[in-house]
């Protein structure tokens, strides 16, 4: 057993000892009142015990002994003073009403005041000792800068200061608030503004920066990260306020700190959707998610589970990923969620019909697909079997079993496709279009860009390459892409599902496209490394079927129809008849039977009129757009080398 286990008892006994000693000493020092002498002191002992008892009970009722004094602030000290004062008032009333006022007023007041002063001094001395003990090895600790001198920044500094095991010491705060700049917080200077970080920290041996402003907007957060990315510091951040509230069981701010994610660099506020409409769409419905173990599919399952469906059916061919999301949902919801998991391939028509017959899903989110562009270029028959005919099987089953709605997960690569994967997804959109007015089921497709952090995406690859010391590989430094978060993607799908009515193709306003080279450079900077010097960036060349520029999802030429959500639009499409669709499917089926990849590609070009060769599209992009072949960071590096 250690003394820490009996911390309350030890502090209580110290307080009692202080009150007893102070009262005894003052008895012999203060003149007047009771005549000095041994017999008189013995007479006053019961009154002294009453004084100690009243003070101790009052302090206990004010919960003074529940505080950890190493972290005490003004509120804790105020409770101590109020507890002592109330205890004295109670003693004074009892003494003067029931015990005839034997103890002089000046003596009891002096004893109470001196006792409170000594108890406060004891606690302050303990705090000073703790601070000295914690900081005695500061010369060996890593200097840290906290951006944000608000409540969270100060709390983070106090946490690091009071933790003897912390490896960090706060060198300074950075803030844009003019009233704080130049002031001291716990003897640490507040510097600013943040935009002058490079100049302010020029002679400061800082190695890490923490952004401690949870309530900051996404745009402002990105601006701060861009300033940080110009310097050789590792940058980390506190999550947003909502995330901190959700992690309220974790009281350590430091444990909530995370590395910068690519969504922090998205360059726009994340889209927010109408949860009430989505909840009414999902609640008490049987919902099926194909490809439910994938990045988008699993996030869909998470959000659907929160909306209280009658039953959630996860369908996936990959048992490991499907098992992971199943266990995650069971751990969170237990028996509250009616969850079913089916290992099946959408390629198998009979199996798909069997599942629909068994569960009779009312809403289907179809996320099962092959999505890797280079792999599908090498194996086009697999894209046809899985993406096209798999989608066709699920659509037909949804119509046959009178599902309410079917939502297809599509991609921006379906817009003027230059590869097998994009063309196959465009054909899936055309199947959805052909169902308009031909089924009681309402169909729709949702199209969005690259999803940050999804399986196989470029960002996790960059992060792994940086962690291994490089090099970071990109196919072409001119490539530009649209990005969105997994959460946004899933919310968009749900929102579109709620709005779906007649074979629409929904697209999201994703802001401005982002250069991949800039993402790579920012990730290297924010990891505290220098691109091109410490971490090389190597260009490997465009992969088969890859475009330099994805098509814009937003156009103001009348091709888009605005919805009630200003971030979601419907792309106007020509209707496709069932007769025409069956003809196209027969062409595709015949090419599959030929087992010739050349004939499969030619067949896709025949049935998807917008399908073009990537070389042609990239040549047009180069001719019509000004393309910088190297980034500004690389230009600076080359100038310095020369």
Give the catalytic positions in this structure: 413
Strand 504-508 versus strand 560-562 pairing type: unpaired
Cβ of 26: how many Cβ atoms within 10 Å? 17
Q: How far is CA 363 from CA 283, 298, 443, 621, in A?
A: 11, 16, 10, 40
Cα–Cα distance measured from residue 568 to residue 134, given in angstroms and rounded to the nearest whole number:
54
Spatial CA neighbour of 152 closest among 240, 214, 237: 214
Cα–Cα distance measured from residue 371 to residue 452, given in angstroms and rounded to the nearest whole number:
15
Report residue 339 as tokens: 């969850």
Contact indicator for 75, 64 with CB cutoff of 8 Å: no
Q: Which residues pair with 94 in a beta bridge?
A: none
Q: Which residue has the tokens 């049987």?
A: 286
Contact indicator for 341, 322 with CB cutoff of 8 Å: yes
b (16+ CB within 10 A) / e for 151-163: ebbbebbbbbbbe
| 417 three-state secondary structure | coil
Provide φ and ψ at 16, rounded to 5°.
-60, -40
Cα–Cα distance measured from residue 117 to residue 10, given in angstroms and rounded to the nearest whole number:
19
Side-chain-side CA neighbours of 140 within 13 Å: the count stands at: 7
Contact indicator for 15, 119 with CB cutoff of 8 Å: yes
């Amino acid at each position: 057993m250690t003394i820490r286990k009996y911390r309350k008892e030890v502090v209580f006994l110290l307080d009692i000892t202080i009150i007893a000693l102070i009262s005894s000493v003052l008895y012999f020092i203060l003149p007047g009142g009771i005549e000095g002498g041994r017999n008189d002191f013995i007479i006053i002992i019961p009154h002294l015990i009453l004084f100690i008892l009243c003070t101790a009970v009052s302090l206990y009722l004010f919960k003074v002994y529940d505080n950890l004094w190493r972290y005490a602030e003004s509120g804790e000290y105020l409770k101590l003073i109020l507890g002592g004062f109330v205890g004295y008032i109670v003693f004074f009333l009892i003494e003067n009403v029931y015990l005839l006022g034997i103890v002089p007023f000046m003596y009891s007041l002096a004893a109470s005041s001196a006792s409170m002063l000594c108890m406060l001094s004891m606690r302050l001395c303990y705090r000073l000792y703790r601070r000295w003990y914690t900081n005695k090895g500061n010369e060996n600790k890593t200097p840290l800068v906290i951006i944000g001198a608000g409540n969270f920044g100060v709390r983070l500094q106090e946490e690091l200061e009071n933790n003897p095991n912390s490896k960090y010491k706060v060198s300074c705060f950075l803030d844009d608030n003019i009233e704080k700049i130049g002031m001291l917080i716990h003897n640490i200077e507040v510097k600013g503004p943040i935009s002058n970080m490079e100049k302010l920290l020029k002679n400061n041996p800082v190695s890490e920066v923490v952004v401690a402003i949870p309530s900051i907007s996404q745009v402002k957060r990105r601006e701060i990260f861009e300033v940080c990315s110009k310097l050789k510091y590792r940058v980390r951040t506190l999550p947003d306020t909502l995330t901190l509230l959700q992690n309220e069981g974790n009281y350590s701010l430091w444990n909530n700190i995370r590395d910068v994610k690519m969504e922090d660099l998205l360059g726009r506020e994340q889209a927010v959707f109408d949860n009430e409409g989505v909840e009414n769409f999902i609640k008490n419905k049987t919902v099926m998610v194909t490809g439910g173990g994938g990045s988008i599919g699993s996030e869909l399952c998470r959000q659907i589970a929160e909306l209280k469906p009658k039953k959630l059916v996860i369908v996936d061919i990959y048992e490991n990923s499907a098992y992971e999301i199943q266990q995650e949902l069971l751990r969170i919801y237990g028996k509250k969620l009616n969850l079913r998991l089916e290992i099946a391939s959408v390629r198998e028509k009979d199996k798909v019909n069997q599942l629909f017959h068994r569960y009779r899903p009312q809403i289907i989110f179809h996320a099962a697909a092959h999505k890797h562009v280079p792999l599908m270029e090498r194996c086009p028959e697999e894209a046809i079997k899985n993406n096209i005919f798999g989608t066709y099987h699920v659509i037909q089953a949804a119509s046959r079993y009178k599902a309410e709605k079917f939502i297809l997960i599509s991609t921006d690569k379906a817009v003027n496709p230059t590869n097998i994967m994009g063309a196959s997804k465009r054909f899936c959109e055309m199947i959805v279009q052909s169902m308009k007015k031909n089924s009681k089921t309402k169909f729709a497709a949702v199209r969005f860009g690259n999803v940050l952090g999804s399986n196989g995406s470029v960002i996790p690859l960059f992060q792994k390459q940086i962690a291994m010391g490089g090099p970071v590989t990109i196919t072409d430094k001119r490539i530009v892409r649209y990005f969105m978060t997994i959460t946004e993607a899933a919310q968009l799908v749900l929102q579109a599902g709620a709005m779906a009515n007649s074979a629409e193709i929904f697209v999201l306003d994703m802001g401005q496209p982002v250069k991949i080279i800039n993402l790579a450079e920012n990730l290297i900077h924010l990891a505290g490394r220098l691109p091109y010097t410490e971490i090389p960036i190597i260009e490997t060349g465009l992969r088969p079927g890859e475009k330099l520029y994805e098509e814009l999802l937003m156009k103001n030429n009348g091709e888009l129809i605005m919805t009630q959500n200003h971030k979601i639009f419907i792309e106007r499409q020509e209707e496709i008849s069932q007769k025409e669709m069956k003809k196209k499917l027969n062409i595709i089926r015949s090419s599959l039977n030929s087992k010739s990849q050349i004939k499969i590609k030619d067949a896709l070009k025949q049935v998807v009129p917008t399908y073009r060769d990537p070389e042609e599209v990239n040549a047009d992009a180069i001719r019509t757009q000004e393309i910088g072949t190297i980034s500004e960071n690389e230009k600076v590096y080359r100038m310095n080398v020369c």
